[in-house]
Amino acid sequence: MTTVAVHVEVNGVPYAREVEPRTLLSDFLRHECGLTGTHVGCEHGVCGACTVQLDGEPVRACLLFAVQAHGRSVRTVEGMAQPDGTLHPLQQAFHETHALQCGFCTAGLLMSLEPWLRDRAGGEPVGEREVREALAGNLCRCTGYEAIVEAVLRVVR
Amino acid sequence: MKPAPFRYAAPGSVDEALGLLGEDAKVLAGGQSLVPIMNFRLARPELLVDVNGLAELAYLRRTGGVLRIGALTRHATLERSALVARHWPLLRQAVRHVGHPQIRSRGTVGGSVAHADPAAELPVALAALDARFQVRSAARGVRTLTADALFVAHLTTALEPDELLVEIEVPPLPGGAGTAFAEHARTHGDFALAGCAVVVAPGHAAVALLGAGPVPLRAGEAERALVAGATARQAADLAAAHVAPGHRRALMGALVRDALREAGAP
């Protein structure tokens, strides 16, 4: 079995591992880094559960080989709250509006929505339609999305 | 599912990449189509040639009025480009329908073209814009193909196993041109059932269809009718005749009609 070196910074912490080239970033984060906040759903890029940020951009971790993140910076849901446990405003809004039930999709939603909110800060006003479009790449089978939309609008306001 | 084992190479230059390509190799660009089919083990390449490090293939340039898109340009870059929005709005209109933001931040223009999915938006928009596709190989150098020559069948292009798509050239739009892209998918971001990319200008019309066959289809009769003064509805009926009767034909007709009106056809 040939392996490749993967040096990657995850939430500011450097990780150096030797893995098979076929190791998906989603599995690397969970199995090599022990960061199980990133969830693996469909493993073919449809459900969005495994969404993380690569150099600040939302990406499907199941559609990226870990080796492709070599030398790059990854952010996962574990990097959102403050070290003292204070939740990120988006996490806090999810908590307040009950925007999750089983929680399987939540990490992916947070990872997708955070850069989306960042890119829109100070720009055009955001309404329900825009929010629904922004979360169209993340499937949630519990909530019916209503509370998720409410959480995002709460952060926007 | 997990991919089958493969050898991995990350060449540092286009020339080095070309030296690695061949029968058992597959190019890894954005990976948004290739990695899912590898996860399903529908594709089991022996060697993966990762071109993501080739910064020389990631550019958007306007030279002599022609847009040059490096094959590694991400969908998100195309979507955010002021140059593209100003001079080739059709590309911006089309790229917004590609998957979701998480897909567009990785997916590449060249990858969409080389994968040749019949439901892909950019090949249809590029066909409507009379784009030309520059491919390179170590053995035969550079050749340039039209959309007609490049897109051969379902998921199949004229690219040889040792060839790499390096650049897409898009000529300027005719003066006073209006453009539009329309598609219908069952859910947002899903593969479209039907769609079209249109360009309407004095003395010029382009109508490219998505979902009317295995490759992007230019509806020549509709284009000639528009130039001769046909209305959006008349041209749309001609274009929709390329699709089997029933729901899909009705859908195509409505999409083309609306797109043509948005682009300024009467």
CATH of the domain at A32: 3.10.20.30
A95 and A74 in a common domain:
no
Residue at a domain's end among A60, A79, A98:
A79
d(CA A76, CA B84): 32
A19 and A75 in a common domain:
yes
A96 and A72 in a common domain:
no
Alpha helices in chain B (DSSP H): 14-20, 34-39, 75-80, 82-87, 89-95, 101-104, 109-115, 121-128, 147-150, 220-227, 232-240, 247-262
- A95 confidence band (pLDDT: 50, 70, 90): very high
Q: Please report the number of interchain residue pairs, chain A to chain B, with beta-carbon separation below 8 angstroms.
A: 83
Q: What is the pLDDT of residue A104?
A: 97
d(CA A60, CA B71): 21
Digit-coded pLDDT (tens) for B123-179 = 999 999 999 999 999 999 999 999 999 999 999 999 999 999 999 999 999 999 999
The pLDDT of residue B189 is above 80? no
A137 and A74 in a common domain:
no
Q: What is the pLDDT of residue B73?
A: 98
Report the predicted TM-score, pTM, of the whole model to 2 decimal places. Answer: 0.94
In eight-state DSSP terms, residue A62 is G
Digit-coded pLDDT (tens) for B55-70 = 999 999 999 999 999 9
Average pLDDT, chain B: 96
d(CA A67, CA B165): 23
A84, part of any domain: no
Q: What is the pLDDT of residue A151?
A: 97
Cβ atoms of B260 and B226 closer than 8 Å: yes
A60 SS3 class: strand
Residues on chain A bordering chain B, Cβ-to-Cβ distance under 8 angstroms: 1-2, 4, 20-22, 24, 27, 43-45, 48, 51, 54, 57-60, 62-65, 67-68, 112, 116, 133-134, 136-137
| Domain limits for position A102 | 89-156
Domains of chain B from N-terminus onward: 7-50 (3.30.43.10), 57-170 (3.30.465.10), 178-262 (3.30.390.50)
Cβ atoms of B97 and B181 closer than 8 Å: yes
- Which one of A27, A43, A59 has the shortest CB-CB distance to B105? A59
**Domains: count for chain A:** 2
A122 and A64 in a common domain:
no
A70 and A94 in a common domain:
no
A133 and A94 in a common domain:
yes
The pLDDT of residue A122 is above 90? no
Residue at a domain's end among A22, A50, A79:
A79
Q: What is the pLDDT of residue B170?
A: 98
Q: What is the pLDDT of residue B225?
A: 98
Digit-coded pLDDT (tens) for B97-133 = 999 999 999 999 999 999 999 999 999 999 999 999 9
Average pLDDT, chain A: 95
In chain B, which residues have their Cβ closer than 8 Å to the Cβ of A67?
A: 8, 10, 50
- How far the first Cα of chain B sits from its last, in Å, is 51
* B174 near A CB under 8 A: no
In chain A, which residues have their Cβ closer than 8 Å to the Cβ of B5?
A: 1, 20-22
The pLDDT of residue A121 is above 80? no
- Residue A140: give its domain's CATH number: 1.10.150.120
Residue reference for tokens 């089978």: A141
* Interchain pair A63, B76: CB under 8 A: no
Q: Which residue in chain A is spatially nearest to B53 when comparing CA positions? A: A68
In chain A, which residues have their Cβ closer than 8 Å to the Cβ of B102?
A: 48, 51, 58-60, 112, 137
- A1 confidence band (pLDDT: 50, 70, 90): confident
The pLDDT of residue A37 is above 80? yes
Q: Burial of B55 by CB count in 10 Å (0-12 exposed, 13-18 middle, 19+ buried)?
A: exposed
Q: What is the 3-state secondary structure (H, E, C) of B141-174?
A: EEEEEEHHHHEEECCEECCCCCEEEEEEEECCCC
In eight-state DSSP terms, residue B5 is P
Residue at a domain's end among A28, A45, A79:
A79
Q: What is the pLDDT of residue B179?
A: 98
* B87 near A CB under 8 A: no
A49, part of any domain: yes
Q: What is the pLDDT of residue A65?
A: 97
Q: What is the pLDDT of residue A157?
A: 85
Q: What is the pLDDT of residue A124?
A: 80
Q: Which residue in chain A is spatially nearest to B77 when comparing CA positions? A: A57
A99 and A136 in a common domain:
yes
A141 and A99 in a common domain:
yes
CA distance B140 to chain A (A): 30
Where is average pLDDT lowest: A41-45, B128-132, B166-170, B259-263?
A: A41-45
